[in-house]
């Protein structure tokens, strides 16, 4: 599963706007569900995610677009303010400590805002890809069903997402090697939570 998750995320990151990420995530969850049923898994199962290309792409865009709506203006505003800061510093000489402090505070606030939005999107759409592959839902229907299920189990799902985030952060601090090992564990935890909430398919 470490190899399948790593290859899937690498392939999914090649194309912009998550065009390939959706099918790869579906392939990873297909592998996880097969393993939960006690079946043997192989790398070919990862690429079965392309059978769900359209619904997984829609589910990905539903998750990516809100992030882009915040991310792009935030980066533009920060870049413009950085240029203005540099121009004013050049005209006045060395920048004052207070102006540097303001820039640092603004950068930290922007990063915190993006982090909160990313966690919220990850929380409410955590079941989108499993629903696409397990219940054969469309991308929009999977996102709606995921959001409803998370609202009904908000405390437990929030704890799970925060735990996965913390483990991933610790993994990244270990030169990213730990993150590669933690990544399939987090996805497997999401798959188990999905089965707890939605049950087995008939």
Structural contact between residues 27 and 47, judged by C-beta atoms closer than 8 angstroms: yes
Interacting residues of 146 by C-beta distance below 8 A, sequence separation 6+: 124, 125, 126, 127, 128, 131
| pTM for this model (two decimals) | 0.82
Q: What average pLDDT does this structure show over 17-24?
A: 87
The percentage of residues in the chain with a pLDDT greater than 90, rounded to a whole number, is 40
> What average pLDDT score do residues 88-117 get?
68
Coil, helix or strand for 172?
helix
3-state helix, strand, coil in the chain (%, to 5): 85, 0, 15
Task: Provide the greatest CA pair distance for the chain.
Answer: 72
Burial status of residue 168 (CB atoms within 10 A of its CB: 0-12, 13-18, 19 or more): middle
Q: Which helix (H) or strand (E) holds 18?
A: none
pLDDT digit string (tens) for 123-154?
A: 899 999 999 999 999 999 999 999 999 999 98
* Residues 112-128: tens digit of each pLDDT: 877 888 888 888 999 99
Which segment of 20-34, 85-99, 131-145, 178-192 scores lowest on mean pLDDT? Answer: 85-99
Contact 132, 139 (CB under 8 A): yes
What is residue 183's predicted lDDT score, i.e. its pLDDT? 87
**Domains of the chain: which residue ranges?**
2-198
Residue 15 in tokens: 């194309």
CB atoms within 10 A of CB 184: 21
């Amino acid at each position: 599963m470490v190899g399948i998750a790593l290859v899937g995320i690498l392939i999914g990151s090649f194309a912009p706007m998550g065009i390939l990420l959706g099918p790869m995530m579906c392939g990873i969850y297909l592998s996880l569900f097969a393993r939960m049923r006690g079946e043997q898994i192989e790398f070919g199962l990862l690429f079965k995610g392309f059978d769900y290309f359209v619904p997984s792409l829609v589910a990905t865009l539903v998750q990516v677009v809100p992030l882009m709506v915040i991310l792009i203006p935030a980066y533009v505003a920060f870049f413009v303010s950085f240029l203005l800061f540099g121009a004013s510093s050049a005209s006045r000489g060395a920048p004052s400590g207070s102006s540097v402090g303001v820039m640092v505070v603004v950068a930290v606030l922007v990063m915190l805002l993006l982090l909160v939005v990313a966690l919220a999107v990850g929380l409410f759409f955590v079941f989108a890809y499993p629903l696409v592959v397990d219940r054969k839902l469309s991308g929009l229907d999977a996102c709606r069903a995921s959001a409803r299920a998370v609202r009904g189990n908000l405390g437990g799902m929030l704890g799970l997402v925060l735990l996965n985030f913390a483990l991933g952060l610790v993994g990244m601090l270990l030169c990213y090697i730990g993150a590669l090992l933690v990544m399939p564990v987090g996805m497997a935890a999401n798959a188990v939570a999905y089965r707890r909430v939605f049950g087995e398919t008939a």
